[in-house]
Structure 1
C-alpha cells in the first residue's frame, strides 16, 4: 500500500461514524479498487482508448497493436464490452477478468495475429472502449466503469468533435487529478491542412487547460498516414517500461477523493479543551460541591476532638451538568454534523455521569482527624498541669495568707520552701506561667493549623474534583480531539 493510500485508510478509520460526507463512500470505493488492483498483475499496464463515434479509436487501436482485427474476424460485438489486445498474456487473465473483458474479446500479441511489431510494449493491455457518445446506455456505462479502473487514459478526439461539451463536462473535467496519467490524442489531422491542424490543436489545448488538464499531454496524430504514431508509441513504451502507471493511477485517485473530503470540511475545524477550560470546569464543579464552605468547616473542626466530623453535601446537579455541557461546544469548535455531534454527545454523556461521580468521589475523601498529633496532645497535658499547679499554688498561698492575717486555726497548713521561696508561690508563679504561655502558644498554633488544614482540605477536595473532571469530561473530549486531528492530518497527507 502506498503512503498516500495508507493515509486515506487511516483517515477513514479515524472518521468512521463521525464524517458522513458522500465522498466517504467514494473513498472506500477507491481503497477497495486500489487493493484489488494491487493484488493483480502489476507487470501489466492497462491503457484504454476512449472517444466518440467516428473519432478513429479502432483505427488507432489497429495501428498501435499492429493487428488488423477485422481481417481475422475478431469483431467488436454488438454488446457494450471492450476489446483487449495483450502483449504477453501470461499472468494477465485475472486482471482481464477484473476489467470484465470477455475471453472472446481478448487478443494476445503472441497469437497468429501478431505482425511482429512493437515488442517493446511487452506487458501492455490495450483496450478499445465503446463510444462514449453512443445512444446505447450500456455503452456509456462501460466507459464510465473503465474510467475508474484503467491505468492510463488515451482520449481520442477528432477535428469535428474535439469541442464536444459531453466529453469535456462528463469526463475530462473530472480527470483533473489524473492529468499525470491522461493522454489526449487529436486524430485525423490528415484531414486538415497544416495551419488548420495547428489552430485546431491550439484551440483544444486551451479547452483542456480550462478543464484542469494542463498537465495532460496533447498529441496530434493520423492513424491513416502514420503521422505522430511514433511519438505515441514512444510514450506508451515509456509508460510500460516504467511499470508505474497503476501506482500513479492509484495515487491520483487517492489524492482526488481525499481532496474532496478536505473540501467537504471546508474551513471548519475543531476547538480546544485547554488548561484554562479545564480549570474553569474544575472551579464550577468545586462551587457546585460547596468546597470552600466544606474546607472552612474542616479547618474550624481541627484540634477540636469533640466536633462532629464534616461531611460533604450533595452537589448541585444542575450546576455541574451545565458546566460540563458548556465544554462540548468548545471542543467542537466550528464543526457540525458528525464530528460536531460526536463532541456534543460526549459532553452530554459526561453531564449525566458527572454529578453522581462527583458525589461518590467526595464522600470517599478522607478529610483527616480532628485530633492533633503527639506533641499537640503532650502540650495540652502540660498546659493543664501548669494551670492546675498554678491554681493550687495560688489557693495554697492565699489560704496561708488568710490564716496568718486573721489567726485562723486551720490546723497549721504546711509551709514548704524551694530555694528559699515558699512552694505555694513557686507553684503559683511557675505553674501559672507555664500554663498561660502554653495557652497563648497553643491558641496561636491552633489558628495557623486550622487555616492550614482548611487549605489542605480544599486542595485535597479540588484534586478529587480534578480527577473526576479529567476522567469523565476532559480526557474523553481530548481523546476525541486527538481522533479528529488524526483524521484531519491523515486526510491532508492523502490529499497533498
Structure 2
C-alpha cells in the first residue's frame, strides 16, 4: 500500500489536531498544532528557495565553514564575531525570499557575489546559526527554533566534540527521522593526521547510526585548508537543485511525530456490555417492581370481575398496585397525567439502587475508555457522570410513558355473566324455598316444589348456582394468575425496551460519539503519520 501524499497527510493532521483538542495530552496537542501550523506556513512561502541551516557546538568552526562554502567572508569569525549570536543568511537569488526570511525571523541577510556551485539558477538560503550549546539561553533558543523550520539540517562537528553525548542525545537523535534532509560535516580535519581521518569518520558514522540516522554520509572538511569544502557545497547545491527538501522536511516532521506518539487503540465494546447496562439500570429504575405490579393488578381486577360475586367484592378493598404507582393499565394519559411532567409514585432510588446505577454506567464508560489516553478517558467519564445526573428522572418518565398492556381480557365479561347468572339461579332457588315456607304463614297458598328425577328444583338451583360460582371463580383465579404472569413478562420486556431507549440516548450514544471521535482522530493520525 503506497504512502499518502503530503497534502493528504497534512489534511489528516489538521483533522487529528481538531479532533484531539481538549482530549490528548497538552504537549501532544501543542505539537500537533505546531507541526500543522508550521507546515502550512512553510508551504505558503518562497517555494523556490531551499533553506539550509548550519548547526554546531561552540568551537566546531561552523562560521568558518559557512564562509568557505559561500566563498567570501560574510560571517565574521574570531576577533570581530567570536560567537554567533544572531542568525546570518546568505541568500542566492533573493527575489521573493523576504517573506520567508521574515518567517524565519532572520534580519541579517547577505547576497553572495558568486552563484551557488557556479549555477546562477539555484535559489537557496544558507543560515549560520548560534551555537546550540551556548551558555546564552537566547542563543540556544534561536538554534532550536530554526532547527524546526529549516528545510535542510547540516550538523557541523569537530574532532574534539563529535562524540559529545549531549550533542547526540539532545539535538541529533530527536531528529533521527530527518535523514533525507540531513548532512553531517566533520570539520577541522586539518587537526587530525591523514591516517586518523577515516577512523574518526567511521566512528562518527557509527554514532549517527546509533542515533537512528541511517544512510547519512559524513563529509570530512576543513574550512581553513579548503579540503572537502567543494563536496559540502555540492551537497547543498543538490538539495537546492532538486527542490524537494521542503517536502521531505515536512514529511520527516510527520514521521518524527509518528515515532514519538503512543499507539492508538482499536478495541471495540462487546455487545454484552450494553445488555448488562440496560439490565442493571432497569433494576435500579424499578422495572421488576412495576412488572410485578402489572401482574398483580391484572390478577386483582380479573378476580373482581370473574370471582364469586358474594366474595369478590372484598378484592375491591385492596388498592390496585398500578394505581398506587400512578401508573395505569393502558399506558400514558389514561389517568389524565402528563408523564413528561409527573413522576410515578415509585420510591426514589435507594442507596443500593443508586450504587447499582452508578456502578453500571461507570463500568460501561470505563470499558469504552479502556486503552485510551487520559483526556479521552476523562471525556467519556464526564459523559457518564452527566448521564447519572439525569437518568433517574428520565427512566421514571420512560416507565410512566410505557404502555404496560395490563388491560382487561375479553373472557372476563363472559365469566362475569355466567357468575351473575349462577348467583341469580341460586337466589331464585332460595326465594322459592322462602316462599314455600313463609307464604302459608300469611294465609297464602304455598308454591309447588317441583322436582327433577326426585330432586327438588329449588335445591338444584341453590346448590348448582353456588357450586358453579365457586368452581368458576377458582378456575378464573387460576387463569387470571397465569395470564397475569404472562402480562408481567410482557410488561417487563416493554419496560426494558423503554429503559434501553433512554440508556441508548443518554449513555450509549454520547459515549459512542466520543469513541467515534477518538476513532476518527486515530484514523486521521494514522494517515498523517503514513500508517506508522
Q: Which moved more, 1:441-450 or 1:79-88?
A: 441-450
Counterpart of 1:314 (choices 347, 356, 380) is: 347
Q: Give the structure-1-normalised TM-score.
A: 0.78
Structure 1 position 321, deviation (Å): 3.0
Equivalence for 1:449: 483
- Tell me, yes or no, if the aligned pair for 2:175 and 2:256 is still in contact at 8 Å: no
Q: Secondary structure at the match of 1:156?
A: strand
1:95-174 map, 5 Å: 95-102=100-107, 104-107=108-111, 113-114=113-114, 117-119=117-119, 122-134=122-134, 136-174=136-174
- Tell me, yes or no, if the aligned pair for 1:270 and 1:481 is still in contact at 8 Å: no
Distance in structure 2 (CA, Å) of the matches to 1:46 and 1:116: 13
Structure 1 position 456, deviation (Å): 1.1
Structure 1 position 31, deviation (Å): 2.5
Distance in structure 1 (CA, Å) of the matches to 2:357 and 2:469: 54
CA RMSD between the two structures: 4.3
- Tell me, yes or no, if the aligned pair for 2:295 and 2:485 is still in contact at 8 Å: yes
Equivalence for 2:502: 468
Distance in structure 2 (CA, Å) of the matches to 1:135 and 1:308: 87
Q: Secondary structure at the match of 2:255?
A: helix
- Tell me, yes or no, if the aligned pair for 1:156 and 1:186 is still in contact at 8 Å: yes
Q: Secondary structure at the match of 1:142?
A: helix
Q: How many residues align?
A: 472
Distance in structure 1 (CA, Å) of the matches to 2:248 and 2:168: 22
1:188-203 map, 5 Å: 188-190=188-190, 192-203=192-203
Instruction: Kindly provide the CA deviation profile for residues 6-31 of structure 1, in whole angstroms up to 9, marking residues without a partner as x.
Output: 44433333332233353433333223
Distance in structure 2 (CA, Å) of the matches to 1:11 and 1:136: 36
Alignment of 1:209 onto 2:209? yes
Instruction: Kindly provide the CA deviation profile for residues 278-307 of structure 1, in whole angstroms up to 9, marking residues without a partner as x.
Output: 322332233333333432321232253767
Q: Secondary structure at the match of 1:46?
A: strand
Q: Where in structure 1 are there 5+ consecutive unaligned residues? A: 403-407, 416-422
Distance in structure 2 (CA, Å) of the matches to 1:247 and 1:298: 71
C-alpha distance 53-291 of structure 1, shift in aligned 2 (>3 A): closer
Q: Where in structure 2 are there 5+ consecutive unaligned residues? A: 1-5, 305-315, 326-344, 438-443, 452-456
- Tell me, yes or no, if the aligned pair for 2:294 and 2:488 is still in contact at 8 Å: yes
Counterpart of 1:27 (choices 28, 32, 51) is: 32
C-alpha distance 378-87 of structure 1, shift in aligned 2 (>3 A): same
Structure 1 position 181, deviation (Å): 1.8
Q: Secondary structure at the match of 1:105?
A: strand
Distance in structure 1 (CA, Å) of the matches to 2:83 and 2:286: 84
Distance in structure 1 (CA, Å) of the matches to 2:150 and 2:245: 9
1:165-244 map, 5 Å: 165-190=165-190, 192-223=192-223, 227-244=227-244
